[in-house]
Structure 1
């Protein structure tokens, strides 16, 4: 990352700064010891990343004038330390241009703002760690492995019993039980030169006719004589082409 490139990862329009008493021992800091009802300063907070550096800037929320800066070299660490009795307050180490340090109390309006503050600092150092790991990997020489076959080296491939059995079945053709069946399921005609098997035909019994009914039909049509177009009419009174009674 370029050193002169500034990336803003968090902006909170209003935070509270408290003057705290000197720390007498290494015991945990409690926000209840501060005068929380009367903050000593109110303003805007920005978390800014510049390369591997991370800065917590306190600015005037109207003019944007810089009030104080907290350089964060590690989180959690001595630069930003959470208090023991609340998730909204932190112990902040400010640093002036001459390098002198001063510890103040930092407070947020609600827990959501304090959570965003935590996440922004954690994300910065995760990104720095990732870029450092990538730089180390790129600087290491890449090992090239030779996978080519050496002179006289052979490779054995086991195709398996099932694969060989399947190939033999495909070469031998379809099974005997399937011979003689067409695609539609019917029987195929015998091959050329084969003698078909004799078939026995059973004679169907002759249908029984009613002699009386046959005779009746013959009598009904016996009086009709069909006119022959080639014959001449018998008389002038008979119409040609019609049947005679």
Structure 2
């Protein structure tokens, strides 16, 4: 619901320190107003101009420079329109329709000495009514949404939902790390090694010793006490009786 106009906040859109007011002759045709037809060197009044906005309405106020007393004002409900009209022969002059609050109105001419002031005057009114148009469109959209059927997205009593997570299972199975087979191609640890495992240097030296061993016997330079083939030789040189007792078989 729209708030009462007396409760709306009045904002200031533009202030110009100097504006001139002119009496204009009646327009004889629809060809538009011409500032050249006015007595531009004899303004009827000069003062300050202020543009304010209250709700959708913009107010062009002509005030005394020193006292701020209101000389005249023009309520603007749309722009461009009949309330504010640019002249055909200059960008610094406009015709506005002023009202006295009692139903009476009159058309007067206003002009700015600086072209930048007339540009700000024009843009301030344009921006305000762009905002009014946007607010009107937003209000229409909200009204149409309120009148339309509302979607009930809540679950009814006893209603369930099923979620397919097959893709997640497939991803987990395909990404599983395969366990490495026991042994991994390494030689079993020799007897007497604590913990049943060799450190990497020991494993490498043991493997190297086995690879360097040939049919001719142990690697040259190996100490006699480490000659494992000596046990087989001793076992083969014994008697049959000794072989039966010791469990060795002679080759």
3-state DSSP class of the match of 1:199?
A: helix
Q: Is the 8 A contact 1:17 1:107 kept in 2?
A: yes
TM-score (norm 2): 0.61
Higher share in helix: 2
Do structure 1's residue 147 and structure 2's residue 122 form an aligned pair? no
The equivalent residue for 2:132 is: 128
Deviation at 1:159, TM superposition (A): 4.9
Aligned to 1:117: 121
Q: Distance in 2 between matches of 1:108 and 1:189?
A: 104
Q: Quick one: which of 141, 160, 171 aligns to 1:166?
A: 171
Partner of 1:64: 68
Alpha-carbon shift at residue 67 of structure 1 (Å): 1.3
Superposition deviation, residue 55 in structure 1: 1.5
RMSD over aligned CA atoms reads 3.8
Q: Secondary structure at the match of 2:53?
A: strand
Contact persistence 1:8–1:48 (CA under 8 A): yes
C-alpha distance in structure 2 between counterparts of 1:65 and 1:149, whole Å: 66
Matching residue of 1:242: none
SS of the residue corresponding to residue 115 of structure 1 reads helix
Offset of residue 156 of structure 1: 5.2
1:40, distance to aligned residue in structure 2 (A): 2.3
Which piece of structure 1 moves more, 149-158 or 112-121?
A: 149-158
CA positional deviation for 1:143: 4.8
Alignment partners' CA distance in 2, 1:193 and 1:205: 29
Partner of 1:3: 5
CA distance in 2, matches of 1:204, 1:78: 120
Q: Distance in 2 between matches of 1:24 and 1:190?
A: 119
After TM superposition, the score normalised by the length of structure 1 is: 0.63
- Counterpart-to-counterpart distance in 2, 1:110 and 1:188: 97
Matched, 1:17 2:24: no
Partner deviation per Cα, 1:91-119 (whole Å, 9 max, x = no partner) = 11122233222212111122221222122
